[in-house]
Amino acid sequence: MTDAPASATPPPAIEAVMREQALAVGYAPASAREGFAALLDLDHQLASILQSTTEPMIGQMRLTWWYEALEKLDREPAPAHPVLQRLADSVLPGGVRGADLAPMIEGWEALLDDGEALDDERIARHAEARGGVLFASVGRLLGQSGTAPLGEGWAKADLAQHVSDEATRTRIGAAALLDLDAILASKSPKPVRGLSGLAILARESLRHPDRLPGHPMRAARLAWHGLTGR
């Protein structure tokens, strides 16, 4: 079983998010930008599985394929998939193994619709395995530790934007704001401002839901953070 190619044109809303993320990547040191972008590509690829799958069993099969494909990167050449090839070229040489990335799959599995409520345990599992692993992996490329909690807050904030139930969305968003406000209270060191910039954008989505990705005020806020770390 193979997955859809990452080269497919994304919807306009996703394109706007990707453009913002590209701006944030630009604040990372040049040596880490390609790997940073490749890891975001992986995150988009995994997100697309849930967005395009209506049957949980099919979604589980596709996620399992990705888990195995990521683990195999440590011992086999990357298959002919652009995301996996990009990871092999720009992430693995930075000391991040495919096995380090495979737990991201568990974060997305936590959201597979099984008819049960999205409780705090599943939300935490998603945030830790998706955002925590993603940000820790970028942090390793940057030579920086302690970036996982920032990723967990980012993942919760992003999840809050995609939950249809209002009460659940409000609960997740409130928890994400608490996390992000606490972590972003201190000035971000220059090497991690690409990562913290993503968190700034996620917090902006919660504070100003009327400002969609691509809004000039969001770009201005990201630029200020990139310059000052605040």
Q: What is the pLDDT of residue 164?
A: 87
Residue 9: pLDDT over 80: no
150: which 2 tokens? 């920032």
* Cα-based distances in Å from 219 to 103, 215, 222: 31, 7, 5
pLDDT band at 6 (very low <50, low <70, confident <90, very high): very low
The domain 12-228: what is its CATH number? Answer: 1.10.600.10
Residues present in the chain in total: 230
Mark out the alpha helices in 9-147 (DSSP H runs). Answer: 12-25, 30-52, 56-72, 82-90, 98-101, 104-109, 120-126, 133-142
> pLDDT tier at 8 (50, 70, 90 boundaries)?
low
| C-alpha dihedral, 60 to 127 to 159 to 10, nearest 10° | -60
Chain segment 174-224, per-residue pLDDT in tens: 999 999 999 999 999 999 999 999 999 999 999 999 999 999 999 999 999
Q: For the chain, what percent of residues have pLDDT higher than 90? A: 87
pLDDT at 140: 98
The predicted structure's pLDDT at residue 5: 47
**pLDDT value at position 116?**
76
pLDDT at res. 2: 54
Return mean pLDDT, the chain.
93
For residue 229, what are its two tokens? 């770390």
Residue percentage of the chain with pLDDT more than 70: 95
Residue 7 is predicted with a pLDDT of 45
Q: How far apart are CA 29 and CA 8, in angstroms?
A: 28
Q: With a threshold of 0.75, does the pTM exceed it?
A: yes
Give per-residue pLDDT as tens, 13-70.
Answer: 889 999 999 999 999 999 999 999 999 999 999 999 998 988 889 999 999 999 999 9
Report CA-CA distances (Å) from 34 to 127, 130, 160, 208.
24, 20, 28, 30
For the four alpha carbons of 14, 17, 21 and 22, in that order, the dihedral sign comes to: positive
What CA–CA distances, in Å, run from 187 to 24, 158, 184, 229?
A: 16, 22, 7, 5
Residue 163, Ramachandran bin (φ over 0: left; ψ between -120 and 50: alpha; else beta): beta
- The mean pLDDT of 83-91, rounded to a whole number, is 98
Whether the pLDDT of residue 93 is over 90: the answer is yes
Residue 36's Cβ-count burial label (10 Å; 0-12, 13-18, 19+) is: buried
Q: What is the mean pLDDT of residues 119-142?
A: 97
Where do the domains of the chain lie?
A: 12-228
